[in-house]
Structure 1
Amino acid sequence: MSLEFNTWICIPVLIFVYLLSKHVLHKLYNLPPTPFPVLPVIGHLHLLKKPVYRTLAKLSGHYGPVLYLQFGSRHVLHVSSPLAAEECLSKNDIVFANRPNMLSGQYFGYNYTALPWARYGDQWQTQRRISAMEILSTARLDSLSHIRLDEIRVLTRRLFLSGNENPDQVINLRTELFGFMFNVMTRMMGGKKYYGLESGKLEEAERFHDIVDDTNQVNCEAGLADMWPNLRWLVARKIEKRYGDVQKRRDEFMQEWIDEFRANGLVNGKGEKTLLQVLLDLQDADPEYYTDEVIKSLSQALLHGGINTSVETMEWAMSLLLNNPPVLNKAQMEIDEHVGCDRLVVEEDLSKLPYLQWIIKETLRIHPPAPLLLPHESSKDCTVIGYHIPKGTMLLVNVWALQHDPNTWDRPEKFIPERFEGKENVGKAKEGLIMMPFGSGRRRCPGENLALRIIGLGLASIIQCFDWKRVTDELVDMSESGGFTAPKAQPLMAKYRTRPTFIGHLSKIELKRPS
């Protein structure tokens, strides 16, 4: 009995000593506030509920905007205030320019050499320069604008024909927007059109779609394994096998594209160049650096990083508009006034549509595509808002919390596009970084310009050509799903009618079957 009694006494004592020592060390090293309790082995993981960014925002509301957390064996700095975000991504930008070692970076990032996951240094700077100057420059995007226009015409034509057959049908707008975005990206990257029966490549489209889905799924499943990087041999065997299998399929798919270009003699060809052709031309000039692996990693970063986020933003925007018909009507009137009804909207018109731009900004504010920025990691000790941050700390910037801060935004949960009137360069203010849906600093998303063009053209076109309404009198369900990302939980279902003024324009669009 005495041994059993002593055991029951020792366990609470040991727990008390552990918690006390953690508290004393925390104060001694001047670390930011930390939620209580910090449990052995798992740290603060027991506090996380989905969606994670909302949970972390609530913790910040209780403990403060700068938190020092422990996720498994990882030490994490969570930031949710504009000033703290600015210190991390401006003052300490180089310190936090690295990425933590995570399974996604190891497998999908070609062992941390791909642009999203590469450590800050010469290799990352070279790839960033390639992306900015050769792939995503204004001139390059302008040269491929006809692809984006072709695909939005295909979408509006298909909606027009389908609406004629059944004016009262309900469509899955997420599916339609995905097809549009999918073809835009694959045509810009490799001159290939996959989505839709008219493409003649349904089997390949399904294969690529499955790869995208499996990529997203395995990334979601890796969360816990990434929290114990030193114990992956024990806790991550199954998930690492899944990563390896998915990456093998991703790699093979892109290699087939490259081999097809070479076999058909398309490299250094005349006329318009796709992004993959640009990279292969660079390989001819410098084969030692521009290896097939580098080309595949850059291509995959664009394809897998650009499709879902743009679709989600357009879907959220239409959901918000359907729940706010006066805003939708005002956007439609703006397009009618500045573009007219004698032609369809084009990309060059977007600069003349400020209200549409406010709608996009307000959508990105309420529903940022990355509510928690892709993690950063400190390369050395630094100071944030007076607190000591040790080397090797993983940084999570809570964009969702920043963009819903009632101290910065009036009625932050309300959809009010007019709040951006006269604030074209909103983002950095006297109080720090208040809005950054595409990140900030050196690791800012290089595809921001492309994303805004596609989202703007897509929304403007379907608003101009069709009158939209909800399926029922009930508001569209705005529930979110996911843990670290924020897609809409349920696909957006909607009704629409072709506007009589645009029947003639849509009737004249020809759908050409790709060769």
Structure 2
Amino acid sequence: MLTELNKQINPNGDIMDRNCIKAITIDMIVASLDTSTAPLEWALSALIKHPRVMLKLQKVLERIIRKRMVEGNDLPKFEYLDMVVKETLRLYPVTPMLIPRESMEDIVIDGCYIPKKSRVIVNVWAIGRDPNAWSNNVEEFFPERFVNRNIELHGHDFKLIPFGSGCRVCPGRKLALITVKLILAQLVHCFDWELLGGMSPNELDMTKNFSSTLPRKNNLCAKPIYRM
């Protein structure tokens, strides 16, 4: 696609060479992988560690779609799945510090003076664990906290902004959410999950590897058991 677009560029304008096209393509692929695989692994880890939530989600899926496979047009029916994904992104945001911003003018926010040209880093990880926003059980994986709370993931509710907000919000957030929800629903609906070596759910290590993204420190190792 980029090659074809490149052919149509004004001859007097800038033309992307092959190295530039390859760099853009790699950026797109890496960005899409991180925003899908990390939340999926965290969500499945949290469900395995909390059997009550796993069982409840399985029952919800069974009640709605019975024994067939999950399809894309089923996703709007799964309110509890939405809560599970939101809770996962609250506790384990893909980019815990988002992408740095720059203050365009001198401004005072909540008594804090921010000079023009300051680099601003938003600590989404800390916001997701703020008791003032989420009550005292902030460290608990509890999807029901979203019951009767119209909190969305598209940058309008500042207590939950894993994809950022405003004109710099992640452009691939909708695709990432659909991908995560569809795959997670399929994995939970079609399989039970058992940790290796006889490990119990409460022994599952949930240590994080803090960097520009937030993957698990150790990969999740679990055995799927077909249940359909």
Identity among equivalent pairs (%): 36
Matched, 1:292 2:20: no
Matched, 1:489 2:187: no
Matched, 1:331 2:57: yes
1:481 CA displacement: 1.5
Matched, 1:475 2:203: yes
Matched, 1:408 2:133: yes
The match for 1:462 among 171, 180, 187 is 187
| Cα root mean square deviation, aligned | 2.2
User: What SS does the corresponding residue of 2:225 show, helix, strand or coil?
Assistant: strand
1:421 CA displacement: 1.8
The match for 1:446 among 171, 175, 181 is 171
1:484 CA displacement: 4.1
Distance 1:469 1:373, change over 3 A: same
Q: CA separation in 1, counterparts of 2:175 and 2:211?
A: 26
User: What SS does the corresponding residue of 1:439 show, helix, strand or coil?
Assistant: coil
Matched, 1:435 2:160: yes
Contact 2:151 2:160 in 1 (8 A): no
Distance 1:295 1:348, change over 3 A: farther
In structure 2, what is the equivalent of residue 316 of structure 1?
42
- Say which one has the larger Rg: 1
Q: CA separation in 2, counterparts of 1:373 and 1:337?
A: 37
Query: So what's the TM-score if we normalise by structure 2?
Result: 0.87
Q: Which runs of 5+ in 2 are unaligned?
A: none
User: What SS does the corresponding residue of 2:213 show, helix, strand or coil?
Assistant: coil
1:409 CA displacement: 0.4
Q: CA separation in 2, counterparts of 1:407 and 1:387?
A: 18
User: What SS does the corresponding residue of 1:408 show, helix, strand or coil?
Assistant: helix
Q: CA separation in 1, counterparts of 2:108 and 2:6?
A: 42
1:478 CA displacement: 0.5
Distance 1:337 1:290, change over 3 A: farther
More helix per residue: 1 or 2? 1
Q: CA separation in 2, counterparts of 1:408 and 1:316?
A: 22
Q: CA separation in 2, counterparts of 1:423 and 1:356?
A: 15
1:290 CA displacement: 7.6
Q: Which amino acid is 1:497 matched to?
A: I
Q: Which runs of 5+ in 1 are unaligned?
A: 1-276, 502-515
Q: CA separation in 2, counterparts of 1:437 and 1:480?
A: 16
Q: CA separation in 1, counterparts of 2:204 and 2:54?
A: 14
1:475 CA displacement: 2.3
Distance 1:456 1:368, change over 3 A: same
The match for 1:304 among 19, 30, 33 is 30
Contact 2:128 2:134 in 1 (8 A): yes
The match for 2:90 among 331, 340, 365 is 365
Mapping for residues 41-440 of structure 1, pairs under 5 Å: 277=1, 279-288=2-11, 291-293=15-17, 295-341=21-67, 343-410=68-135, 411-426=137-152, 433-440=158-165
Distance 1:421 1:291, change over 3 A: farther
Q: CA separation in 2, counterparts of 1:280 and 1:338?
A: 45
